[in-house]
Structure 1
Amino acid sequence: MKYLLIMQVDQDVLEALSEDERKLVMDGHGKFMKVTRESGEFILTQALAHPANSVVVTGTGGTPVVTDGPFAEAKEFMGGFYLVDCDSKERAIELAKLIPDTRIKGLSVEVRPAMDSCGADL
């Protein structure tokens, strides 16, 4: 089963990290990728630009409307993800716990099953 491990980011938390903490996070992501590649569970990863670079196309029942955004009430946003293929939800949670963001207050990783894929040989 494929799982999306979605890294939820709070820009204020990231900016408050010391250089040593930033290095630990970056090194931890390298270790995570090494472990999941060696186990055969790694499929891909992608970092995403800050939401200020986004637009939202909204259905209106007629012509779609494009607005700047997303600007939700929450400070957190999807900063990137890993797509992994593992045997169970429990294993996906184990893998998510290896992502260094989970050890920093204010950051989190959402574990969500991927239900369908099309267009890529994944």
Structure 2
Amino acid sequence: MKYMLTMRATDEAFAGMSDTDFNEIIETVGKYNDELIRAGVLVAAEGLDDAEQGVVVDYSSEPPVVTDGPYGETKELFAGFYILNVSSKEEAVEWAKRMPMTGPGFKTEIRRVTSIDEFPQDNEWIQKERAWREATGQL
């Protein structure tokens, strides 16, 4: 089963890391990533750019409204994510507990990534997506 671990932090937590040497951050995260790789559970991992560089598309009106970052509510911003292929939610939780760069103001949300196999296979759109995934080597 695949699980997405989404890293979140408050503005204060990010600010508290501003004095941390970037090379130290890279080494700490790199060691964690290496553990995931050696365990054979890492599918993907990416950090996200600063929220000020992002935008929000709000669909509550027509046409949708696009707002530049930082977002209106910055209590908890997504900082990055991991996708792990593990045997259970409990195993995903155990990996999340070992995540580096944590402390007050940091959280990790864990959600299962659904598989295309869970959808009706006789559906035209599911068949098209499956064909695309096979053609691009994603199945």
TM-score, length basis structure 1: 0.80
Letter in 1 for 2:20: E
Which of the two has higher C-alpha Rg? 2
Provide, for residues 75-121 of structure 1, a one-character-per-residue CA deviation record: whole Å limited to 9, x for no partner. Answer: 2200100111000000000011111133x111111111112466572
Q: Given the two structures, how large is their TM-score scaled by the length of structure 2?
A: 0.71
Q: CA RMSD in A?
A: 2.6
**How far apart are residue 11 of structure 1 and its match?**
3.4
The 5-angstrom pairing of residues 36-55 of structure 1 reads 36-55=36-55
Number of equivalenced pairs:
120
Provide the identity percentage.
32
1:115 aligns with 2:130: no
Q: Match of 1:26?
A: 26
Query: Unaligned 5+ residue runs, structure 2?
Result: 117-128
1:78 corresponds to:
78
8 Å CA contact retained: 2:56, 2:71: no
Residues 5-26 of structure 1, C-alpha deviations (whole Å, 9 max, x = no match): 1110223323323437982x43
Separation of aligned partners in 1, 2:7 and 2:84 = 13
Q: CA separation in 2, counterparts of 1:21 and 1:60?
A: 39
Counterpart of 2:124?
Answer: none
Query: How much does 1:72 deviate?
Result: 4.0
The 1:45/1:59 distance shift into structure 2, 3 A limit, reads: same
